[in-house]
Structure 1
């Protein structure tokens, strides 16, 4: 996968607004969606959607550890 960071900062704490990762297929041309990351959790926005499924950090951690 090709993943791009929209806003790049150094030693930056994620705030309420968070940041967004643009996710593309390995060809770098086909956009799959966005992963929005905030201090409250994560949200996957499929394709060009602006909203999508959400997970709190604890839900995400539990899912990854299962």
Structure 2
């Protein structure tokens, strides 16, 4: 599993733990709604700015995205 897939898997886990839809997460993080599914599938190279937006929207530490 590469880093993009690991990030996407952890993003999805954190999102589901918060009972958020992909669309509601995107709105909260000020991202396009079509962006979240491609991140979760490991198709996107995510910038540090987007990582920060997602962490804030999920009220979590950035390190949570990189756990095994």
Q: Which has the higher helix share?
A: 2
Task: Give the TM interval when normalised to the shorter protein.
Answer: under 0.3
| Larger Rg belongs to | 1
TM norm structure 1? 0.27
- Which structure is higher in strand share? 1
Q: Normalized against structure 2, the TM-score is what?
A: 0.26
| Higher relative contact order structure (alpha carbons within 8 Å, sequence separation ≥ 6) | 2
